[in-house]
Amino acid sequence: MFTKQPIASLSVLGLAKAFSGKTVVKDVSFSLYPGEIVALVGENGAGKSTTKNMLCGLLPPSEGEIQVAGQTVTVVDGKQHGIGAVHQELSLFSSLSVAQNICISDLPGKPGRIDWPACRQIAEQQLAQLGVDVDVNQRVENLGAGKQQIVEIAKALLHASKVLILDEPTTSLTAPERERLFTLMRRLKKQGVAIIFISHFMDEIYQMSDKFICLRDGRQVGSGNIADTPRRELEEMMVGRTLDEAKVTLTPPSTELAVQVERLSSHYFHDISFSIRRGEVLGIAGLMGAGRTEVAETLFGLRPFEGRLLVDGEQMIKPNVRQMKQRGVCYLTEDRRRNGLFGVRSVKENLSAAKLSRFVQRRVKGMGFRGEASQAQEWVEQLNISVPSIDEAVSSLSGGNQQKVLLGRWLATLPRVCILDEPTKGVDIGAKFEIHKKIAALAASGVAVLLVSSDLPELLDLSHRILVMRTGHIVGEFAREDFDAVEIISLAASSAFEKQRA
C-alpha cells in the first residue's frame, strides 16, 4: 500500500522579492511538513530575513506563490494561518509589561474592556511551557537581554499552531535557556508544528534540524537532509567558495604590559585582577550575568569602580570615555543596534564617528569632512563590507555587515587596546572568519585585545589566555597550552565556587 503524503504546513513556489527594482530574493521553492525542523541557512545578506518576512506576512512577495495547509494565500496572516515568528531584532514594547507584550496581538476581553487578569494568566501559561519564571507584571525594559528573548518566544508561540519561525533565537540566551528552548522545539515537533530555524551556530543546526534550505545572494542554491550533508560541504555551499581549513595563527605576545587591573570591584563584579600584554588576546568566558560585559564597560570608562586600573603604566583615576579613547582604548559593544550604530546615518558617517577630530577641516561649509569619504572607503575594502555606496544608511545593511562597520569605526582610531564584546554575534561563517583574521592581525601588530564571547570555540581559537567568570568573580584561568573546553564550561556553570564562599 502507498503511504499518503501529508499536506505541507507551508509551501512556497518561485518566491521572489524586489525593492525599488532591485531583486533581493529570487526563485525560492520548498515545502515544510508537520513535525519538521528545517534550517534556513546562508551568509548575512543572503536573503534569509526577507524570505522570513514574506512567510510571516510582514512583506508581500513580488512573485511566487505561498500555500498554508494546501491553500494558496495572497497575504499571510500569522494569527489566522497559525504562523508565529521570533525575529532577530526583538519586537517588544519596552515600556509595557511582560503580560501586555505577550498578548499584544490578541488581548482578551470584550470590545473596549481588556481582561487584564486573563492577560496575565495567558502570559504565565506561555512562560510556563518554556520553563522560565518571569514576573509578568514587570516592564520588559527591566529584563536582561536573555529574558527579553524568552518573552519574544512566548509571544510568538501564542499563534504558532502550524508553523514557528525562529530567527537567531539563541544569540542572547544562556546555556540553560538554550536547552529549554531546544526541549520546547522537540515537544512542538512531536505535536506536529513545523519549524523554520535560522541560526549562524552550525552546531545548533546539526543538533536540531532535519533538513536545510541554503540561500546565497538571494537565490536558493541547495537543500537536503542535514544527516546526509557534511558540515564543511554546507558551509562552503553557504559562502560559495572553499573555506580555508587552517585555524587563525596567533603570534606570541610581548612581555610589555598594556593593561593592569588590580582588585577591581563594582556592583556587578568583585575583586577582579588581571593584566593584558601587548599583542595578547585575553579571552573572558562565562554565562550571561557573570559580569563580563560590565568589566568591559568599566575598562572603557562607562562605569565607576573601586580598585586600580593602569593603561601603559599610568593609573586611570575615575576615567571617562573621552580619557580612555585618548589613551588609545576602544570598545566594541555587544549591542550594535541600541548602543553602537546610528541607524539612519550613512555607512560613511558611522565609520568616522569615533574619530571626527581627524576630519574637522571642511573644504566647503556644510559639504562634509575632509578625507572622510576616502577613509570610509578604505575600511569598506579592508573589512569586505558589502554595501552599494558608503552613503547608504547603515540600517539597510545585513547584520554581519553592520557588525563590520562598527568594528571598522574603532579600528579607524588606530587603537592600542581593543575591548571586543561579542564581536561576531549574529554574523555568518564567512564574516566571522574575516573578523577572526582581523583580530589576530591586530594582536600581531602589538594591540592588546580583551575578547568577551559566549562562543567558546571562538575563544579557544583566538585567545592566548582565557579567564572564566561566574557571579562577578574570576573563578579560573587557562593558558593556551592548557585549554580544556569541558573544564571551562564546568567552571562557568558550576556552583562549587559559590558553595566555597558560603
Q: Decide if 27 is inside a domain.
A: yes
Q: Give the SS3 label for residue 12.
A: strand
Local confidence band at 228 (pLDDT 50, 70, 90 cut-offs): very high
Q: What is the pLDDT of residue 225?
A: 96
Exposed/middle/buried for 7, CB within 10 Å: 0-12, 13-18, 19+? middle
Give the model confidence (pLDDT) of 35-54 as tens digits. Answer: 999 999 987 778 888 899 89
Cα–Cα distance measured from residue 168 to residue 49, given in angstroms and rounded to the nearest whole number = 10
The reported pLDDT for the residue numbered 489 is 81
What is the rounded average pLDDT of the residues 491-502?
53
Q: 262 and 155 in one domain?
A: no
pLDDT mean over 61-71: 90
* Domain end (from 239, 266, 296): 239
**Is residue 248, in this structure, part of any structural domain at all?**
no
Instruction: Based on the fold, state whether residues 195 and 303 are members of the same structural domain.
Output: no
Pair 48, 160 in one domain: yes
- Asked if residue 410 is part of any domain, the answer here is yes
For residue 249, is it within any domain?
A: no
User: Is 170 found in the same domain as 50?
Assistant: yes
Decide: residue 184, CB within 10 A, 0-12 exposed, 13-18 middle, 19+ buried.
middle
Distance CA 257, CA 331 (A): 19
> Which CATH number characterizes residue 177's domain?
3.40.50.300
Q: Which residue has the cell 523554520?
A: 196
**Residues 277-321: pLDDT tens digits?**
999 999 999 877 789 999 999 999 999 999 999 999 999 998 999
Give domain status of residue 56, yes or no.
Answer: yes
Same domain, 205 and 320: no
pLDDT for 501:
41
Residue 319 CA to residue 326 CA, distance in Å, equals 11
- Residue 252 is assigned to a structural domain of this protein: no
Return d(Cα 244, Cα 403) in angstroms, integer: 22
Same domain, 225 and 261: no
Q: Which residue has the higher pLDDT, 63 or 403?
A: 63
Compute the distance between CA of residue 49 and CA of residue 424 in angstroms, rounded to an integer: 18
Domain ranges, residue 113: 10-239
CA separation for the pair 309, 298 (Å, rounded): 10
Contact yes or no for 174/289 (Cβ under 8 A) = yes
Residue 321 region by backbone torsions, left for phi larger than 0, else alpha for psi between -120 and 50, else beta: alpha
Q: Cα-atom radius of gyration of the chain, to the nearest Å?
A: 24
407 close to 394: Cβ distance less than 8 angstroms: no
pTM exceeding the 0.75 threshold for the entire prediction: no
Answer whether residue 1 is part of any domain. no
- Do both 375 and 264 map to the same domain? yes
Helix (H) or strand (E) holding 205: helix 202-208
pLDDT digits (tens, 9 = 90+) for 240-272: 776 665 468 899 999 999 999 999 999 889 999
**Domain shared by 187 and 85, yes or no:** yes
Q: Using 50, 70 and 90 to split pLDDT, how confident is the model at 403?
A: confident
Of 239, 266, 284, the position where a domain reaches its end is: 239
Count of domains forming the chain: 2
In a domain, 343, yes or no: yes
Confidence of residue 336 (pLDDT cuts 50, 70, 90): low
Do both 221 and 302 map to the same domain?
A: no
pLDDT of residue 213: 95
Mean pLDDT of 158-163: 86
Out of 299-313, 364-378, 428-442, which region has the weakest mean confidence (pLDDT)?
364-378
Q: Is-contact 51 218, C-beta < 8 A?
A: no
Say yes or no: 266 and 233 in one domain.
no
Considering only CA atoms, which of 408, 115, 443 is closest in space to residue 249?
443
